[in-house]
Amino acid sequence: MRILVTGGAGFIGSALVRRLIEHTDHEVLVFDKLTYAGVLSSLEPVAASNRYSFVQADICDADAVSKALHAFKPDVVAHLAAESHVDRSIDGPGEFIQTNMVGTFVMLNQTLGYWRDLPDADKAAFRFHHISTDEVFGSLGEDGFFSETTPYDPRSPYSASKAGSDHLVRAWGHTYGLPVLVTNCSNNYGPYHFPEKLIPLIIIRALNGEPLPVYGDGSNVRDWLFVDDHARALQAVFETGAPGETYNVGGNAEKQNIEVVTTICAILDRLRPKANGQYADQITYVTDRPGHDQRYAIDASKIRADLDWTPSVTFEQGIEQTVAWYLGNQSWWQDILDARYSTQRLGVAANG
Ligand code: NAD
Ligand code: TDX
């Protein structure tokens, strides 16, 4: 297969591309603007492959999208490019509307033009796979899970922009017959995760001897999935999923934020003991995120039953591997800290 991956220099996109080059015979074109979140060194392990190529361009640029589609001739478009950080969407929602909604519209419209000109057999086999989030479903109380039929109830500028993009994708499938797939996934973690997100931020600040910021009372719950398991799920969906379908993807690993932070501290105490005291001594409760969703949890029974996908690692295994990766790959994250983002607090604008 020939797979065009938008956002392939990001956290999940690069995990997908590394998987496709290292474990399949597929050919991959990464289409990425290289925003602050695009990190080319995350693709270094596959950069020398003759089945890998890269174009730096914006998904909002219709001509660039059309050119890439007609030159590369993909069988699959895996659309991951997005603004992805909830805190940044609170500070500056405009970029989220532009990239996540307008950009997805441009991708759909240009893909439709390309798809309509394909021979019938290629047209039938083609897939536009939109990668989305469980945050479109809103916030859960203590009980219940998000399923594929849960009504949408997004609450942050980020999740609203992703919900809008999901609706556009389904509309292009329903109205124009474009063979679309949508996946809604829970929180990912693992190697190459940008340091603005909870898990890498805590690991890096812990190592730097800085306060570990826990929003609110730390009781918010996320359902964590190791990023390589998400990449495996995406491959299963675009290779074997039924067009028009939505699949929820989750780790079945719910944790309160404070549990995640104390787990990381305990692993670091073992792997990189401090001279004095323990890493948990650095934990600091800080002002909550405005509109902070309380709990996300995914019911992944459909993808398990239909596509035989389940997570391959537990949270305990995945978080151990992740902490070890950050300890062994300081140059990857130090370059980001030096040039782009140095783990300062984001997303409190609404609170002043
Ligand atoms: P990320 O922020 O790490 O990477 C985003 C990538 O998209 C970057 O390489 C960036 O350069 C690129 N990009 C941004 N704007 C672009 C534009 N206008 N044109 C071309 N490229 C552009 O994001 P991520 O965490 O890897 O998330 C990837 C996708 O998965 C997103 O659509 C996100 O909504 C979704 N998702 C993420 C998670 C998660 O936990 N991280 C969970 C579920 C779904
Ligand atoms: O410093 C922090 N302290 C803290 O307590 C940060 C950065 C976060 N948090 C909390 C907020 C959340 O409850 O930790 C939780 C996780 O926060 P993030 O890493 O910002 O992720 P989240 O907001 O849950 O969204 C992530 O998962 C769903 C991704 O960023 C999204 O792209 C994805 O759609």
Q: Mind listing the pLDDT tens digit for each residue in 9-20?
A: 999 999 999 999
Question: Does the Cβ of 289 fall within 6 Å of ligand 2?
Answer: yes
> In the block, which residue shows the tokens 């394909």?
118
Q: Which of 106, 39, 6 is nearest to 334 (CA)?
A: 39
pLDDT at 351 over 50: no
Per-residue pLDDT, 352 = 41
Is any ligand 1 atom within 6 A of the Cβ of residue 99? Answer: yes
Q: What number does the ligand 2 atom closest to the CA of 346 have?
A: 7
Its pTM surpasses 0.95: yes
**pLDDT over threshold 90, residue 185:** yes
Judge whether 65 lies within some domain.
yes
Centre of ligand 1 from the C-alpha of residue 233, in Å: 17
Which residue out of 52, 114, 158, 192 is catalytically annotated? 158
Task: Tell me the mean pLDDT in the region 69-80.
Answer: 99
**Domain presence at residue 318:** no
Distance in angstroms between the alpha carbons of the first and the last residue of the chain: 50
Residue 282, in any domain of the structure: no
Measure the CA–CA gap between 8 and 18, rounded to whole angstroms: 10
84 alpha carbon – ligand 2 mean position (Å): 10
Identify the domain containing residue 231 by its residue range: 2-193+226-250+293-313
Residue 350, pLDDT score: 53
pLDDT digits (tens, 9 = 90+) for 125-134: 999 999 999 9
Q: Identify the band that residue 25 occupies on the pLDDT scale cut at 50, 70 and 90.
A: very high
Q: Does residue 213 sit within a domain?
A: no
pLDDT, residue 70, reads 98
With a 6 Å cutoff on the Cβ, whether 246 touches ligand 2 is no
Q: Is residue 185 part of a domain?
A: yes
- Residue 163 in 3-state DSSP? helix
DSSP string of 10-67, one letter each residue: SHHHHHHHHHHHHHS--EEEEEE---TT--GGGGGGGTT-TTEEEEE--TT-HHHHHH
Tell me, yes or no, whether 265 lies in a domain.
Answer: no
Residue 15 maps to a domain: yes
pLDDT at 307: 98
CA distances from 338 to 10, 29, 140, 236 (A): 18, 29, 38, 37
Among 14, 3, 6, 42, which residue's Cα sits nearest to residue 227?
14
| Cα–ligand 2 centroid distance for 229 (angstroms) | 19
What single-letter DSSP state applies at residue 148? T
- Whole-number Å distance, alpha carbon 12 to ligand 1 midpoint, is 7
| Stretch 115-127: mean pLDDT | 98
Distance CA(41)–CA(121), nearest Å, equals 37
| Atom of ligand 2 minimally distant from the CA of 86 | 23
Counting ligand 2 atoms within 8 A of each CB, the residue from 289, 292, 293, 348 with the most, and so the one to mutate, is: 289
Report which protein residue has its CA nearest ligand 2's atom 23.
86
220 lines ligand 2 (CB under 6 A): yes
19 CB under 6 A from ligand 1? no
Q: Is the CB of 76 under 6 A from ligand 1?
A: no
Ligand 2 centre distance from Cα of residue 72 (Å): 35
Q: Dump pLDDT digits (tens) for 30-43.
A: 999 999 999 999 99
Question: Considering 32, 87, 135, 148, which one is annotated as catalytic?
Answer: 135
12 Cβ below 6 A of ligand 1 = yes
Q: For tokens 């439709």, name the residue.
A: 112
Number of domains, the chain = 1
Domain-located, residue 31: yes
pLDDT greater than 90 at residue 106:
yes
Cα–Cα dist 106/111, whole Å: 8
Question: What are residue 336's phi and psi, to 5 degrees?
Answer: -70, -45
State how far the Cα of 104 lies from the Cα of 100, in Å rounded to an integer. 6
Length of the chain, please? Answer: 352
Domain with residue 134: its CATH number is: 3.40.50.720
Cα(37) to ligand 1 centroid in Å equals 8
Q: In the chain, pLDDT over 70 holds for what percent of residues?
A: 99
Closest ligand to residue 185's CA: 1
The minimum-distance atom of ligand 1 relative to the CA of 197 is: 41
Active site residue 135: yes
Mean pLDDT (the chain, rounded)? 97
Calculate the dihedral angle through the C-alpha atoms of 239, 64, 44, 78, rounding to the nearest 10 degrees. -20
Report the pLDDT averaged over residues 313-342.
98
Q: Which residue has the tokens 């240009």?
A: 110
